[in-house]
Chain A
Amino acid sequence: MAQRGIREYDGKRILAQNWEDYFGDAFSYDFKSVLITPETDLDRLPEEHPWLKETPLVAKPDMLFGKRGKLGLILFKKEKPGDVSWEDAKEWIKQKMAEEVEINGVKGYLTHFLVEPFVPHQPEEEYYVAITTDEDEDIIYMSAFGGIDVEENWDKVVEVRIPINASDEEIKKLIEENVPADIKDREKYADFVYRLYKLFKDLHFTYLEINPLVIVGDKVYPLDFVGRVDDTAQFVAGRKWGELDFPAGFGRELTPEEKYIKEMDEKSGASLKLTILNPEGRIWTLVAGGGASVVYSDTVADLGAVKELANYGEYSGNPTRAETREYVKTVFDLMTRNKHPEGDKILIIGGAIANFTDVAKTFEGIIDAMKEYADKLKDVGIKVYVRRGGPNYEIGLKRIKEAAEELGIPIEVYGPETHMTEIVKKAIEENKVA
């Protein structure tokens, strides 16, 4: 994979767990945060975290989406800021978990909340720091005007570009020279940013934002934290991350079929992907290879049939016969649930010219599934178009053709002499889709 968003809670936990190594001799951080999920026993939580009952609190959803303040999803006051008790927070969270909400046009339920002590401070104490990556440089953004209006004040943000192979001295110098003038204790702020950048690099963050950042003397209060890490660095930074989960975005619930394929994918050395775009669609695809699968989807859309495109998916990396069979059965199950009012359904079995995948072997799995679903496929009406090349493709194409014809399923097969996406054009024209 690549860059993955992490929860605010995990971001702060990672800061706290690595505090000694990066900030210990200069700054202190009193890490008090709890993550609440539907499984959390709210009544017992104060036993573990007595401060919940001893201090005013802030509560907010912790599910990767931002602008929570503007969405009214941060609880920090009833009458006035800093009067939220544990009981209040608990009630609010229960209520918010129960109701469906819409965030950026996506409907869903809130499941994860962060609760921490309320930190009283003045708006002018709210600083901003963010670090991101570019090709050959990292970019640090610094501002004395943090808080929810940072975007409105973007002209006051100073951008420093740090060459990725810069020495510690160079980094220090670049930061110190560029600390915005409006920051009160510029030296302190620069020192903090320098240390934060070191942690950013060592822990393979790809994005990190603390806004607002409040520094009082040596005490640091990262009031909000947004982070993304490079999950391929697990083998380098995993120990420093601790147990870290990478949640899906808000409201991205998978269908049972998608979930089934995802689980299979995680267990397998091969790659198996399935996304359902339109379960009522007429065109279904079974495509081998990450690049080829995109090309087939593109072509369906480019030829004007995108509204009939039922799924996106791919299988690659030499799946076993059983894995292929299960994958194909899942697609067949979905496509045979109901008839399409305009005619037969279309199945595109496509792929580029394989490097070393034994085409005949992978087709065996498809044939197995076809035999099992033959009756259902015929009931719903189906036309199959195949195009594939690579080792043993002749045998593979011959076998799938024979199998389909024996089962009474209409099929056309093509090899590498036919352009990869030509079958999409054929299928759309012959069946008058679009």
Chain B
Amino acid sequence: MSKPDYLLFDRNTKAIFWNLNRNAIQRMLDYDYVVGREPSVVAIVAPTQSRKFDKFFYGTNEIMIPIYRSTPEAAKDFPEADVLLNFASFRTAYDVTMEALDIPTIRTIAITAEGIPERFARTMRIKAKELGKWLIGPATVGGIAPGAFRIANTGGTIENIVNSKLHRPGSVGLVTRSGGLFNELSNVIARNANGIAEGIAIGGDRYPGTDFLDHMLRYEKNPQVKFMVLLGEVGGTLELRVAEAIKEGKITKPVIAWCIGTISKHFGGEVQFGHAGAKAGAEAETADAKNAALREAGALVPTSFNELPELIRGVYEELHAKGEIPDIVEPEVPPIPEDYAKAVKAGKVRRPTNFICTISDDRGEEATYCGVPISEVVEKGYSIADVIGLLWFKKKFPEWASNFLDMVIKVVADHGPAVSGAHNTKVTARAGKDLMSSIVTGILTIGPRFGGAIDGAAKYFKMAKEKGMDPVEFVDYMKKVEKIPIPGIGHRIKSTKNPDKRVELLKNFAKEHFPSTELLDYALEVEKVTTSKKENLILNVDGTIGVLLVDMFRALGYKDEEIDELINAGAFNAFFVLGRTIGFIGHYLDEKRLDMPLYRHPTDDILYDVKRPEGA
């Protein structure tokens, strides 16, 4: 499996990717799929991620790639990975590189960050050289070994990769500084020759980890490379080293070279062309001087960038005619499945949805409640009841309805510690449980016997009224047919002589503000019948709320069937659940404040009646 020294990447190269850069990793896997190799990214390092893996596509299938907190951990599990793709920011890229250089299994590190301090770049560079390792970058897109391995985003989109023949090896070794022109040159080489065998963009910084010559010396040894293309830049002396190496015979394969930035001679040092680092410090560093030096050394140098394609074509055709460059059988390219999101955007696919939501939307600039942005809810002074209107009923309630609901919530918020829900909450809190567990034990007691009378009252009174039963008839019906006490009628202590003040307030409010209180009036007629039998069989607070909610929804334009649907869905009960949760939370917090110990019910409060079963 081991590859010759002159190759940094082959079809088996495995890489560790530093930073959870989903797009870049996916692009690498897409490339792997297109060239028919197994996934090249074996591990991701992301120190701040708590997840253990992430999913990516390989063709149409999904694969899992493990995420590690540190490079040494990843390298320990994947000793076969000899490439680290360092996508850390300019702040951390240096530390990541220095740490990785000490890991024996890592041989090549590509650094993308721009803006790494020069002293750091120099320190990384010399350490790598001493250890005989390869740094590509900083400030680069990386490079590509067509048909074998692609560094992150190099080559752009898959369409461009295929158009520029970056999916299978050609015969040209390419070196450039920046990534933008790397793409362009790959394209030129694909159109005028048979594509590149390997290409590296060394990066735009003053002190690249490895330079043109380092890679060209590899290309010299690589039998796949038949000639080389070097795209240099004004500033620095890296291209002069290449000229020197050609002269000394260290590079014997044909080299086509061009340094960009010839314009600068026309404007002296006054104008900064291109990268900040691309500035000639001395005459020898100008593009013209370097082009001349390369030409003199024996490289093929065009007269302008515009002539570059012809020159490449010329060399290619000559070598091809001599039989040094064989013909390439173009491989089949499997289509890359289009990303669903992209296809949707382009209007190419459709899919039925699994869920529907008609009450809120979080997709835009700001989340909305039934179309109203939350900021507007706040700015326009919506009450909690108004928000309930939007989210529960998709209505902007009129003021009287909002005020009524507000009153309902206030009235039902608590009823002391002894009722089943509050009691449960307290006992659970005292068992040391958290807020959620404690209030849930309270809420779970809400039902037909506790708090459920609102629904019941609404249901039966409404039914009776609709069927045209007179109050006496209704009371009779409940007793003989339904065989239950009328929900919403009756109180433990309150009576006609000692009326419930909460009920009085609700009734008075409704009389004053509701457009109609038809069902309340009916319920009060029923109350007259029941209280004539027993004084405490009054219309209680649950009953009042139940019938008034029916009146309210009717006034808001709901049809009878719609109101039945609401009741059956539990919407009326919901007001009690919401209101009483306020009380439960209060009891829970009270317990936490008091720090009471675990509750154990006294045995003398329990009737023990335990008998052995027969035969046991």
| Residue in B118, B153, B160, B263 whose Cβ sees the most chain A Cβ within 10 Å | B263
In whole angstroms, what is the CA distance A291 to B277 when docked? 12
Q: A181 an interface residue at 8 Å Cβ cutoff?
A: no
Q: B116 an interface residue at 8 Å Cβ cutoff?
A: yes
Q: Tell me, rounded to whole Å, the shortest Cβ–Cβ distance linking B481 to chain A.
A: 71
A-B contact pairs, 19 of them (CB 8 A): A2-B277, A135-B122, A135-B125, A232-B115, A232-B117, A236-B117, A291-B181, A298-B261, A298-B305, A299-B305, A299-B306, A302-B304, A302-B305, A306-B263, A353-B156, A389-B160, A390-B160, A416-B163, A419-B308
Comparing B172-180, B372-380, B524-532, B582-590, the segment that makes contact with chain A is: B172-180
In whole angstroms, what is the CA distance A309 to B271 when docked? 13
Q: Is the CB of A165 within 8 A of B180?
A: no
Q: Tell me, rounded to whole Å, the shortest Cβ–Cβ distance linking B166 to chain A.
A: 11
In whole angstroms, what is the CA distance A299 to B157 when docked? 28
The 4 tightest CB contacts between A and B, nearest first, are A302-B304, A352-B184, A233-B117, A294-B274
In whole angstroms, what is the CA distance A419 to B304 when docked? 12
Tell me which of A164, A292, A294, A302 contacts B278 (CB under 8 A).
A294
Query: Given the known A-B contacts A302-B304, A424-B306, are A294 and B263 also in contact in the complex, defined by CB atoms under 8 Å?
Result: yes
Q: Is the CB of B266 within 8 A of A295?
A: no
Q: Tell me, rounded to whole Å, the shortest Cβ–Cβ distance linking A158 to chain B.
A: 23
Chain A residues with CB under 8 A of B272 = 275
Q: B141 an interface residue at 8 Å Cβ cutoff?
A: yes
Q: A3 an interface residue at 8 Å Cβ cutoff?
A: yes
Q: Is the CB of A302 within 8 A of B262?
A: yes
Q: B275 an interface residue at 8 Å Cβ cutoff?
A: yes
Q: Tell me, rounded to whole Å, the shortest Cβ–Cβ distance linking A288 to chain B.
A: 8
Which residues 312-359 of A have a CB within 8 angstroms of B? 312, 316, 352-356
Query: Given the known A-B contacts A291-B260, A294-B273, A312-B271, are A354 and B266 also in contact in the complex, defined by CB atoms under 8 Å?
Result: no
Interface residues of A (CB under 8 A from B): 1-3, 133, 135-136, 163-165, 201, 204, 206, 230, 232-233, 235-236, 275, 277, 289-295, 297-303, 306, 309, 312, 316, 352-356, 389-391, 416-417, 419-422, 424-425
Q: Is the CB of A421 within 8 A of B274?
A: no
Query: Given the known A-B contacts A204-B117, A291-B177, A294-B278, are A353 and B306 also in contact in the complex, defined by CB atoms under 8 Å?
Result: no
**Nearest-CB residue, chain B, relative to A164:** B122
Chain A residues with CB under 8 A of B261 = 294, 298
**Nearest-CB residue, chain A, relative to B268:** A105
Chain A residues with CB under 8 A of B274 = 290-291, 293-294
Q: Is the CB of B118 within 8 A of A232?
A: yes
Tell me which of B156, B178, B181, B276 contacts A1 (CB under 8 A).
B276
Q: B183 an interface residue at 8 Å Cβ cutoff?
A: yes
Chain A residues with CB under 8 A of B127 = 165
Tell me which of A136, A291, A417 contacts B180 (CB under 8 A).
A291
Q: Tell me, rounded to whole Å, the shortest Cβ–Cβ distance linking A200 to chain B.
A: 10
**Nearest-CB residue, chain A, relative to B263:** A297
Which residues 388-411 of B have a CB within 8 angstroms of A? none
Chain B residues with CB under 8 A of A424 = 306
In whole angstroms, what is the CA distance A111 to B289 when docked? 37
Chain B residues with CB under 8 A of A416 = 163, 187
User: What does the 1/0 interface line of B212-245 toward A look like (CB < 8 Å)?
Assistant: 0000000000000000000001100000000000
Chain A residues with CB under 8 A of B205 = 2
Q: B267 an interface residue at 8 Å Cβ cutoff?
A: yes
Which residues 190-206 of B have a CB within 8 angstroms of A? 191, 204-206
Query: Given the known A-B contacts A165-B127, A289-B180, A291-B180, are A355 and B153 also in contact in the complex, defined by CB atoms under 8 Å?
Result: yes
Q: B90 an interface residue at 8 Å Cβ cutoff?
A: yes
**Nearest-CB residue, chain A, relative to B94:** A236
Q: B188 an interface residue at 8 Å Cβ cutoff?
A: yes
Q: B207 an interface residue at 8 Å Cβ cutoff?
A: yes
Query: Given the known A-B contacts A2-B276, A230-B119, A277-B267, are A355 and B180 also in contact in the complex, defined by CB atoms under 8 Å?
Result: yes
Query: Given the known A-B contacts A291-B274, A354-B156, A420-B184, are A136 and B260 also in contact in the complex, defined by CB atoms under 8 Å?
Result: no
**Nearest-CB residue, chain A, relative to B119:** A204
Query: Given the known A-B contacts A232-B90, A355-B156, are A295 and B305 also in contact in the complex, defined by CB atoms under 8 Å?
Result: yes
Q: Is the CB of B123 within 8 A of A355?
A: no
Chain A residues with CB under 8 A of B271 = 275, 277, 312
Q: B126 an interface residue at 8 Å Cβ cutoff?
A: yes
**Nearest-CB residue, chain A, relative to B304:** A302
Chain B residues with CB under 8 A of A136 = 122, 125-126, 129
Q: Is the CB of A2 within 8 A of B118?
A: yes
Chain A residues with CB under 8 A of B181 = 289, 291-292, 295, 352
Q: Is the CB of B118 within 8 A of A164?
A: no
Q: Is the CB of B122 within 8 A of A352?
A: no
Chain A residues with CB under 8 A of B90 = 232, 235
In whole angstroms, what is the CA distance A206 to B117 when docked? 10
User: What does the 1/0 interface line of B293-304 toward A look like (CB < 8 Å)?
Assistant: 000000000011
Tell me which of B155, B177, B188 contacts A419 (CB under 8 A).
B188
Extra pairs beyond A204-B118, A294-B278, A419-B309 (7, CB < 8 Å): A2-B206, A136-B122, A204-B119, A290-B204, A302-B306, A420-B305, A422-B306
Q: Tell me, rounded to whole Å, the shortest Cβ–Cβ distance linking B178 to chain A.
A: 4
Q: Is the CB of A164 within 8 A of B180?
A: no
Chain B residues with CB under 8 A of A1 = 276
**Nearest-CB residue, chain B, relative to A292:** B180
| Residue in B125, B276, B303 whose Cβ sees the most chain A Cβ within 10 Å | B276
Chain B residues with CB under 8 A of A201 = 119
Chain A residues with CB under 8 A of B153 = 355-356
In whole angstroms, what is the CA distance A403 to B54 when docked? 44
Q: B91 an interface residue at 8 Å Cβ cutoff?
A: yes
Q: Is the CB of A356 within 8 A of B156?
A: yes
**Nearest-CB residue, chain B, relative to A306:** B266
Q: Is the CB of B263 within 8 A of A298?
A: yes
| Residue in A135, A206, A235, A298 whose Cβ sees the most chain B Cβ within 10 Å | A298
**Nearest-CB residue, chain A, relative to B201:** A291
Q: Is the CB of B118 within 8 A of A206?
A: yes
In whole angstroms, what is the CA distance A323 to B178 when docked? 24
Tell me which of B266, B278, B306 contacts A303 (CB under 8 A).
B306
Chain A residues with CB under 8 A of B155 = 355
Query: Given the known A-B contacts A135-B207, A295-B181, are A302 and B273 also in contact in the complex, defined by CB atoms under 8 Å?
Result: no
Chain B residues with CB under 8 A of A422 = 306
In whole angstroms, what is the CA distance A27 to B276 when docked? 38
Q: Is the CB of B184 within 8 A of A297?
A: no
In whole angstroms, what is the CA distance A278 to B209 when docked? 38
Which residues 41-95 of B have a CB within 8 angstroms of A? 90-91
User: What does the 1/0 interface line of B245-282 toward A look like (CB < 8 Å)?
Assistant: 00000000000000011110011000111111110000
Q: Is the CB of A298 within 8 A of B275?
A: no
Q: Is the CB of B180 within 8 A of A290?
A: yes
Q: Is the CB of A352 within 8 A of B180?
A: yes
Which residues 139-167 of B have a CB within 8 angstroms of A? 141, 153, 155-157, 160, 163-164
In whole angstroms, what is the CA distance A408 to B23 when docked? 41
Q: Tell me, rounded to whole Å, the shortest Cβ–Cβ distance linking B321 to chain A.
A: 23
In whole angstroms, what is the CA distance A300 to B260 when docked? 12
Q: Is the CB of B123 within 8 A of A165?
A: yes
Q: Is the CB of A290 within 8 A of B305?
A: no
Chain A residues with CB under 8 A of B276 = 1-2
Q: Tell me, rounded to whole Å, the shortest Cβ–Cβ distance linking A275 to chain B.
A: 5
In whole angstroms, what is the CA distance A420 to B182 when docked? 13
**Nearest-CB residue, chain B, relative to A297:** B263
Query: Given the known A-B contacts A206-B118, A277-B267, are A421 and B306 also in contact in the complex, defined by CB atoms under 8 Å?
Result: yes
